[in-house]
Structure 1
Amino acid sequence: MTAESLDPPALPRKLAAEVLGTFVLVFFGCGAAIASGADITTTSLAFGISVLVMAFAVGHISGGHFNPAVSVGAGVAGRIAWIDVAFYIVAQLVGAILAGLVLFTIWKGTEGFDADGGMATNGWGDQSAHDISLWAALLIEVIGTAVFLWVILAATDKRNKAIASSAPFAIGLALTGLHMVMIPLTGTSVNPARSIGVAIFGGSDAITQVWAFIVAPLVGAAIAGISYAFIFGRDGMEVVGGGLTFGGGNTAQGGGQWGGQQPVWDPNTGQWVQPQQQGAPQQWAQPAHEQQQWSQPPAEQQWAPAPPAQEQQWAQPQAPQTPPAPEQQWAPPTPEQQQWAPPAEGTQIRPNDPPQ
C-alpha cells in the first residue's frame, strides 16, 4: 500500500499487479516452507522478503495488497472502494492458486514427496505442530491479522511522511515477526489467499480446515480497519465507495463521507470545502456566520451567488463604489459630431469613387 501514482493506472493493470504479487508471495513463502520443512527462520524471512520486494515492484500500481484481508481492512478503513476490493480478492486468489499449482507440479517431480500435509498448509489439532485447539487457532489468527493491518494502515498513513518511501520495510518486517510467532501454532495464515492457494493441493484435511483461515483473517482485518480511525484518526478524505458507508450517502450520487461529491480545497479558509447536497455538483454551500467567516475580496472583484431559483447563475459584479472622473465618462456623440465632413483638398482618406 504505497503512495499513489500521479497517473492512476487502469483497473486491469492493478489486477495484474495483484496476481503477480500474490503469486510471488505464495511461491516464495510456501516454497521455502516446503523446502525447509517449515523452518521458522527460513519461512519467516521468505514471506517477509516477498512482500517487501513486491511492494517496491508493483506497489505503485495496485497498492501492494497481495492479501484479501489487507483489501478488506483497507476497504473498511475507507482507503479503497468496495468494488475494487471484490476485484482485488479475485485477482489475489488467482495468483495464489497459480503459485500453489506451480509448487505442486514441481515438487511432484521430486522423489518421496507427498502433497498430503506437505504443501505448507495451515491447520489446527493434529495438523498443527503443537496440536493447537480450534478456538486458540482462530484467536491467534484474528490477533495476528489485526496487528498486521494496524502496521499497514499506519505505515501508509498520509500523515506519516517520515516513512512514506520505506513503508514496505515496515510491512515486510511485521509479516516476518508474525511468522516467527505463529508458524509453530497454525503455520501462519493472516492471508486467506495464501491458505487457499496451497490447501487445494494439500489433501482433504487441509481443505476441511481452510475455512478457519478465511474467516479469522477477515475478522481481524475488519477489526483493524474499524478501530484504526477511532484510535489514530483518519488520514484524509474517505474514498468514494469505501468505508463503512459502502458507497452510501444522502444524495442520489451517494458515496462515502462527502455524499459522492468530491471536496475542493479552499485557499481562503485553508480547509476542504464540502459541496452542497442538492443542486449543481460544483456549487458550494455558504458557511454559517457563526461557524466560519470568509475573507471577502475587494468590492470590484466580488461575485455574489445567485438566488436559489437560479442555482447555476451568477449575479453581476457590484459596481465600483467610487464613480469614474467626469473626464473618463463616455457619452454618445451628438448629431453634429456624427456628421461627416469631406477632407481638406489634397487629403486622401478613402479610395476615389468608381467612374460612372
Structure 2
Amino acid sequence: MAATTGKAPVAGGAPALSSRLLAEAAGTFVLVFGVIGAALFGAGFDKGDGGLNIGFLGVAFALGLSVLVGASAFGPVSGGHFNPAVTLGLAVGRRFAWRDVGGYIVAQIVGGLLASTLLLAIAAGGPDGFLASAQKGGFASTGWGELSPGGFPLLSALLVETITTCVFVWVILAVTGPEGNTATAPITIGLTLTLIALVAIPISNGSFNPARSIATAVYGGPVALEQLWMSVVAPILGAVIAGATYSVLFARFRRSDQKAP
C-alpha cells in the first residue's frame, strides 16, 4: 500500500515493470488470502462455541497484518499498492505514473482471484456443507442488505466505503510523502486499515479494495455479483477524492505552520 515511497521506484536501477507487477500480484494475494481466509474460517469458527472464533476484531487485525506483511515484503519492489483504488488515488495525487496504472490494476485483480480460488479449494475440503454455506453467505463479499452483517442499506454501505477509503488514501499520501517516516509507513498503513475495518465490517463487510471485492464476488453467488458495483465504485470514488484534495488541504496546513511564530 505504497509502503516505501508512495509510488513505484523511478530512479536508475529500479525494478523492471514485470517485477513490479509480480510484486503487486503477490502482495494482493497475501492480502486477500489473509483477510478472506480469516473471515471464512476464523470469524465464526464452530459457531462461536468454546470462544475459538475471532469475530470482527480478528478479521480487522488480519486485514491490517496482511497489508503490513505484504508492504514490508513487496513494497520495496512495487511501492506496495495491492489495491486498484490506492493505485488510482496515488495517480490522481501525482505520486504514481498513469502509464503503469492499467498494469498494476490487472496484476492486483489476478493476485486476488488466485487467492480466493485457492481458498475455495480449501473450503471444498471442509465439513459437509461448509463450502455451500460459505457461498450462500456471499463468500465474505461486501455489500448491503443481506450481504451487510448488520443489515445496513445501500446508502450506508456506499458512504462508509467511500469515506473510509478516502481517509485510508489520505494516510498513505501523508506517511509516504516527503515529510513522512517511510520506515514506519507499513505499520501506520496496516493499523489504519485495521481501524477503518472495525468501523466498516458491520456495515458493508469492509472492502476498501475493488480487487478484494472482485475476488470474493465471483464465488459469492448472484447477489454478490449484483452488488459488486458498489464495492468497486465507492472505494475508487473515495481514493480519487483523497488524491485530488490531499495536496490542497495539507499544503495549506503546512503553510499555516510555517507562518506560526
Q: Which TM-score tier does this pair reach, normalised by the shorter chain?
A: 0.7 to 0.9
1:161-180 correspondence runs (5 A): 163-180=181-198
Query: What's the CA shift string for 1:218-240, capped at 9, x where partnerless?
Result: 00000000000101239xxxxxx
Rg bigger for which structure? 1
Say whether 1:185 aligns with 2:203.
Answer: yes
**Code of the aligned partner of 2:87:** S
What is aligned with 1:99? 115
Give the Cα–Cα distance (whole angstroms) in 2 for the partners of residues 53 and 44 of structure 1: 14
What is aligned with 2:17? 11
Does structure 1 conserve the Cα–Cα contact (< 8 Å) formed by 2:138 and 2:147?
A: no
1:177-256 correspondence runs (5 A): 177-233=195-251
Q: Which runs of 5+ in 1 are unaligned?
A: 235-356
1:146-161 correspondence runs (5 A): 146-160=166-180
* Larger fraction in helix: 2
Give the Cα–Cα distance (whole angstroms) in 1 for the partners of residues 89 and 244 of structure 2: 8
Aligned match for 2:99, one of 79, 83, 95: 83
Does structure 1 conserve the Cα–Cα contact (< 8 Å) formed by 2:138 and 2:223?
A: no
Deviation at 1:119, TM superposition (A): 1.5
* TM-score, with structure 2 as normaliser: 0.86
* Higher alpha-carbon deviation: 76-85 or 11-20: 76-85
Give the Cα–Cα distance (whole angstroms) in 2 for the partners of residues 10 and 82 of structure 1: 16
**Code of the aligned partner of 2:22:** A
What is aligned with 1:283? none
Aligned match for 2:141, one of 121, 128, 135: 121
Cα 1:157–1:46 change in 2 (3 A) is: same
* Higher alpha-carbon deviation: 208-217 or 125-134: 125-134
Give the Cα–Cα distance (whole angstroms) in 2 for the partners of residues 209 and 76 of structure 1: 26
Give the Cα–Cα distance (whole angstroms) in 1 for the partners of residues 101 and 143 of structure 2: 26
Give the Cα–Cα distance (whole angstroms) in 2 for the partners of residues 228 and 99 of structure 1: 32
Q: What is the percent sequence identity of the aligned residues?
A: 48
Deviation at 1:108, TM superposition (A): 1.0
Does structure 2 conserve the Cα–Cα contact (< 8 Å) formed by 1:34 and 1:118?
A: no
1:24-39 correspondence runs (5 A): 24-37=30-43, 39=55
1:272-311 correspondence runs (5 A): none
Deviation at 1:118, TM superposition (A): 4.8
Deviation at 1:101, TM superposition (A): 0.4
Deviation at 1:53, TM superposition (A): 0.9
Deviation at 1:41, TM superposition (A): 1.1
Aligned match for 2:71, one of 30, 36, 55: 55
Give the Cα–Cα distance (whole angstroms) in 1 for the partners of residues 115 and 197 of structure 2: 19
**Code of the aligned partner of 1:194:** R
Query: What's the CA shift string for 1:312-336, capped at 9, x where partnerless?
Result: xxxxxxxxxxxxxxxxxxxxxxxxx
Query: What's the CA shift string for 1:259-301, capped at 9, x where partnerless?
Result: xxxxxxxxxxxxxxxxxxxxxxxxxxxxxxxxxxxxxxxxxxx
What is aligned with 1:254? none
Give the Cα–Cα distance (whole angstroms) in 2 for the partners of residues 214 and 48 of structure 1: 20
Give the Cα–Cα distance (whole angstroms) in 2 for the partners of residues 73 and 218 of structure 1: 8
Aligned match for 2:153, one of 133, 150, 154: 133
* TM-score, with structure 1 as normaliser: 0.63
**Code of the aligned partner of 1:217:** P
Query: What's the CA shift string for 1:236-258, capped at 9, x where partnerless?
Result: xxxxxxxxxxxxxxxxxxxxxxx
Cα 1:135–1:118 change in 2 (3 A) is: closer
Give the Cα–Cα distance (whole angstroms) in 2 for the partners of residues 66 and 54 of structure 1: 8
The number of residues matched between the two structures is: 232
Give the Cα–Cα distance (whole angstroms) in 1 for the partners of residues 144 and 106 of structure 2: 26
**Code of the aligned partner of 1:93:** I
Give the CA RMSD over aligned residues.
1.4
Say whether 1:20 aligns with 2:38.
Answer: no
Deviation at 1:6, TM superposition (A): 6.4
Q: Which runs of 4+ in 1 moved over 4 A?
A: none
Deviation at 1:81, TM superposition (A): 1.1
Give the Cα–Cα distance (whole angstroms) in 2 for the partners of residues 83 and 102 of structure 1: 31
Deviation at 1:36, TM superposition (A): 2.1
